[in-house]
């Protein structure tokens, strides 16, 4: 099969943690996005520099981050970089997205998931709920255990 299904049926969204209306048109590549000022959806491949999108964040509503193979973890950095820059639109993980990864992805700012193979809903729920506390301050709202421990205390 030719890999030309950018932003079409293959990427069916299985989990979405947002209330707004999804974007109704396919995502375009980072290269072409910069020249198509009317596009509101863009797709990042592992080799793309997420920072190329930073000047345009105010009119992006959907960023798809593609994981062609689960072991290629560049998309985690791309996601965090966008959230750190204040991007508030939908951030969707697409491709080889497996149950082992979704909790990490959520912590890096993804709020929708379109896995190639559907994930068992119960397994996904368990994955998200696996650890009650976290160590790292990332871009989700979870407060790291070390901040909870010292809440109200002096930082010095």
Partner 1 sequence: MHALADIADKYDRGYGHFTTRQNIQYNWIKLEDAGDILADLAKVEMHAIQTSGNCIRNISSDHFAGAAADEVIDPRPYAEILRQWSSFHPEFSYLPRKFKIAVIASERDRAAMRLHDIGINIVRNEAGEIGAAFYVGGGMGRTPMVAPLIREFVPLDQLVTYAEACLRVYNRYGRRDNKYKARIKILVHELGKDEYARQVEEEFAHLLGQGVEPPFAELKRIRTFFADPDFKTGLSSDIDESDPDFALWARRNTHAHKAPGYVSAVISLKPVGGIPGDASAAQMHVMADLAKEYSFDECRVMHTQNIVLPHVEIGRLHALWAKLVEADLAAPNLDTVEDIIACPGLDYCSLANARSIPVAQKISERFASTGKTAALGELKLKISGCINACGHHHAGHIGILGVDRKGTENYQLLLGGSEAEDTSLGKITGPGFDEAGIVDAVEKVTDLYLETREDGERFLDTYRRVGMEPFKEAIYG
Q: Which of 12, 31, 84, 120 binds partner 1 (CB under 8 A)?
A: 84
How many residues bind partner 1 (CB under 8 A)? The answer is 32
Stretch of 1-9, 19-27, 67-75, 117-125 contacting partner 1, by CB under 8 A: 67-75
Stretch of 33-41, 57-65, 118-126, 131-139 contacting partner 1, by CB under 8 A: 131-139
Smallest separation (angstroms) from partner 1 to the CB of 81: 8
Query: 106: burial class by Cβ within 10 Å (0-12, 13-18, 19+)?
Result: buried
Evaluate whether 27 touches 66 at the Cβ level (below 8 Å): no
Binding site for partner 1 (CB under 8 A): 46, 70-74, 76-77, 80, 84, 101, 103-108, 131, 134-138, 144, 146-147, 149-150, 153-156
């Amino acid at each position: 099969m030719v890999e030309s299904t950018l932003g079409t049926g293959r990427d069916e969204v299985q989990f979405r943690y947002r209330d707004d209306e999804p974007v109704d048109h396919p995502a375009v590549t980072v290269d072409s996005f910069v020249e198509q000022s009317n596009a509101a959806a863009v797709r990042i491949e592992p080799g793309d520099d997420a920072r190329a999108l930073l000047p345009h964040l105010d009119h992006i509503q959907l960023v798809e981050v593609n994981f062609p193979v689960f072991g290629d973890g560049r998309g985690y950095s791309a996601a965090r970089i966008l959230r750190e820059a204040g991007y508030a639109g939908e951030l969707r993980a697409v491709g080889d997205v497996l149950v082992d990864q979704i909790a990490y992805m959520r912590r890096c700012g993804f709020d929708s998931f379109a896995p190639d193979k559907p994930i068992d809903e119960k397994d996904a729920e368990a994955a998200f709920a696996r650890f009650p506390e976290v160590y790292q301050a990332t871009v989700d709202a979870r407060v790291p255990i070390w901040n909870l421990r010292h809440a109200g205390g002096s930082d010095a």
